[in-house]
Amino acid sequence: MKTGRLDTKLLEAAHQGDVVALESLLILCRPDLRRYAALTCLTSADAEDAVQEALMIVYRKVSALRSVGTFSQWIFQIVRRECLRIIQPKTIGLEIIQEKAYLDAHSDTELRFDLTRAIQSLSPIYREVLVLRDFEELTIQEIAQRLELPPETAKTRLYRGRNLVREYLLA
């Protein structure tokens, strides 16, 4: 959906609060938003929910739009944000279920060996930060000073290292 395809007068009228123009505009946008949401969301039901929520947000906040020329970007951003909001709890829940199943299926001894192998499989830059934080219990500031890194870099390496360990264990 490009602003050029939409009637500029319709956009202006909707922006000024004309309810009929706004409803017409939302009807015109809906097919494009559905296609976009179908690519962004996990299921067609989630996509439909995201589009519905986005249209309601646009209906309530169209007058806050700063420039009519940015309408297309604005509405697609709203749909994207709604898709991510809907997806997030599902993906987090799935990760928790996978982790619990893994922990339940292995003994403490097996877990220690698997964790050791996972940490050894890490690149040295991730392994070093992970060991300093999780085993030596240093703070991010202390790790950053010891490794002569900015604290943000230390945090990023710790985050990535932990994710790589998790992926290794759940694979």
Burial class (CB in 10 A: 0-12, 13-18, 19+), 62: buried
Residue at 10: amino acid letter: L
3-88 domain in CATH 3.40.50.970?
A: no
Please state the domain extents for the chain: 3-88, 106-170
This model's pTM is above 0.85: no
Q: Do domains 3-88 and 106-170 have the same CATH topology?
A: no
As a dihedral over the C-alpha atoms of residue 117, residue 123, residue 125, residue 128, rounded to 10 degrees, the angle is: 10
106-170 domain in CATH 1.10.10.10?
A: yes
Averaged pLDDT of the chain? 82
Look up residue 27 and give its two tokens. Answer: 């009807």
SS3 33: helix
Q: Please tell me the predicted confidence (pLDDT) of residue 103.
A: 67
Per-residue pLDDT of the chain (171 residues; tens, 9 = 90+): 444 456 678 778 887 888 888 888 888 888 888 888 888 887 888 888 888 998 888 888 887 777 767 787 888 889 988 888 887 766 555 566 666 776 677 777 877 888 888 899 999 999 999 999 988 999 999 999 999 999 999 999 999 998 898 888 777
The residues, ordered by sequence, that sit 6+ positions from 160 with a Cβ below 8 Å of its Cβ are 126
Q: Please tell me the predicted confidence (pLDDT) of residue 153.
A: 94
Would you give the distance in Å from CA 113 to the centre of its chain?
Answer: 32
